Structure 1
Amino acid sequence: MTSLTEAEAKKLKKRLLRHVGKAIQDFNMIEDGDHVMVCVSGGKDSYGMLDLLLELQRKAPIQFTITAVNLDQGQPGFPKHILPEYLDALGVAHKIVTEDTYSIVKRVIPEGKTTCSLCSRLRRGILYRVADEIGATKLALGHHRDDLMETLFLNMFYNGQLKAMPPKLLSDNGGHILIRPLAYAPEKDLAKWAEHRAFPIIPCDLCGSQENLKRKQVKRMLQAWEQESPGRLDVIFASLQSVKPSHLADPERFDFQNLKTKPREAELPFLAPMEV
């Protein structure tokens, strides 16, 4: 990936801020007085999310506070110093949480099987607890537009469900609101921004070697579609915001049982033109 010129970087930043600002506005993600817990994994997306939220915090007409939180999951060789040093340099309030979920995942999941589901559940439970401890009102996750589309197809292909990742979600226990400020941001833009900003990326060694992950297969499929027909991903994403239950097949979402014809008005008989 080539370096961006100053003009290109400025344009990219403006575009990303517009995407994040629109998502926040469309879904009322952040309100005046909110304490946003920004979950930072060390990947390009969460770095970008924190970067953009800090910028918006300086410009927003409302007041909200940010605490960056990283979960050290006990992965062998995890560079513990990188995130604290980066967050200290930014001057942003932060908390590093150490929980050995790595050992649990390796013990429970057979070798070669996908670890993401269990890892995600364990991580989510810990993050909810930390949110309560620091008094956070919103938990910000770094999923982007491509993640939402990939999840849509993953659920269709492998779970038989028509659902994706919502930009805003109430937790099952009703005690936490999760937001995804990058919901409108394309991954390719976030990758460019991460390179431009030289974020100190930390790879996820726990699952990075599992090349047969279904999500990676779906990602390759979508990228091939976009290459074959540029703009197709825009159309797919637009479909997530234009749902017509009457044209699907879920009787719980649309009352097919009581679908009846409406009485039509009596038709007037054909009138011959009057002779003059």
Structure 2
Amino acid sequence: MSRELTPQEIAERSLIKTYRKSLWNPFVAAVKRYELVSPGDHIAVCISGGKDSMVLAKLMQELQRHTEQPFSLTFLGMDPGYNMENRALMESNAALLGIPVEVFESDIFDVTTKVEKNPCYLCARMRRGWLYAKAQELGCNKIALGHHVSDVLETTLLGLFYGAQLQAMMPKLHSKNFPGMELIRPLYCVHEDAIIAWKNYNHLRFLQCACRFTEARDASGDGIGQSKRQEMKVLLRQLKETNPNIEKSIFRAIHGVQLDTFPGFKYRGRPHSFLENYDGTAYCEDI
């Protein structure tokens, strides 16, 4: 008689079997394509308690089991000011899934709830700083965040529609303020829909953002509220109804930017004009 699998074993098996094409394969593709993991790395996988960071943690565990280039993992959870129920949910999910998370506390929610302008941006920046500092203290050289391809596309549209710039989200970055530290995004090629499907398949319930701004969005009736990112998410969903390949097109576009078709661009914060090289051979009509 075969042994009944635990919830952890079912979740792990579903990653590399049921959702192999939609989760495991694109995850491995991103790790290889963008050279996110190197032998000897000590990576802090940052756990917020949400679905994205939890599936990232499980995928990183699987990668560690199957790789021929060994690296170390630390699962780092930050409590930015969760209530007791949300903190307990994060910790119980980690225990259920076999993620040995180390939780530390910060006062980020106390600070950001007093800010009216761009509180989500401030929250993200503060979270990043706390995570870098704690990871570095623990001897890590990288932090891994759970941003997925849907986040990449939404960020691109936000920059275009509200920031007056063509700007994407990078798969990895060096830290300016924490020398020797690097940020990686191993879910860069994974779609949010696949993460949601895995979550539902395993009957899991994870944290949302758990702050007052998310609560206001959920109570708005349109599912958007004042969240511009949520507005982009809804817009992409609407565009997919008439163009199922819209997300793939945007993703490919940010990998193939044709600079010689733009009248201006910035590199490392410095503006450049096409006029700088106009009298050379860079700008010629091909007729």
Q: 173, 182, 188: which one pairs with 1:183?
A: 188
Deviations 1:4-29 (A, max 9, x none): xx999834234311111111111110
Residues 104-253 of structure 1: pairs in structure 2 closer than 5 A:
104-107=111-114, 109-110=115-116, 114-173=118-177, 175=179, 176-206=181-211, 207-208=213-214, 209-210=216-217, 211-250=225-264, 252=271
Aligned to 2:222: none
Q: 105, 122, 142: which one pairs with 1:98?
A: 105
Quick check: 1:61 aligned with 2:34?
A: no
Quick check: 1:259 aligned with 2:278?
A: yes
Given that 1:67 and 1:92 are in contact with CA atoms closer than 8 Å, whether structure 2 keeps it comes out as no
Q: How many pairs does the alignment contain?
A: 254
Larger-gyration structure (1/2): 1
Shift of 1:254: 6.5
Shift of 1:49: 0.9
Quick check: 1:34 aligned with 2:38?
A: no
Deviations 1:214-241 (A, max 9, x none): 1111111111001121111111111111
Deviations 1:96-131 (A, max 9, x none): 011121111122x13xx6521111111111011111
User: In structure 2, do the counterparts of structure 1 residues 69 and 255 end up closer, same or farther at CA, with 3 Å as the change threshold?
Assistant: same
- The TM-score with structure 1 as length reference comes to 0.84
User: In structure 2, do the counterparts of structure 1 residues 154 and 63 end up closer, same or farther at CA, with 3 Å as the change threshold?
Assistant: same
* Structure ranking higher on relative contact order (CA contacts 8 Å, 6+ apart): 1
Alpha-carbon distance in structure 2 between the residues aligned to 1:240 and 1:116 = 24
Alpha-carbon distance in structure 2 between the residues aligned to 1:254 and 1:23 = 33
- The TM-score with structure 2 as length reference comes to 0.81
Q: Which runs of 5+ in 1 are unaligned?
A: 1-5, 263-276
Given that 1:34 and 1:138 are in contact with CA atoms closer than 8 Å, whether structure 2 keeps it comes out as yes
Q: Which amino acid aligns with 1:244?
A: Q
Q: Which runs of 5+ in 2 are unaligned?
A: 1-12, 218-224, 266-270, 282-287
Given that 1:40 and 1:68 are in contact with CA atoms closer than 8 Å, whether structure 2 keeps it comes out as yes
Alpha-carbon distance in structure 1 between the residues aligned to 2:14 and 2:70 = 30
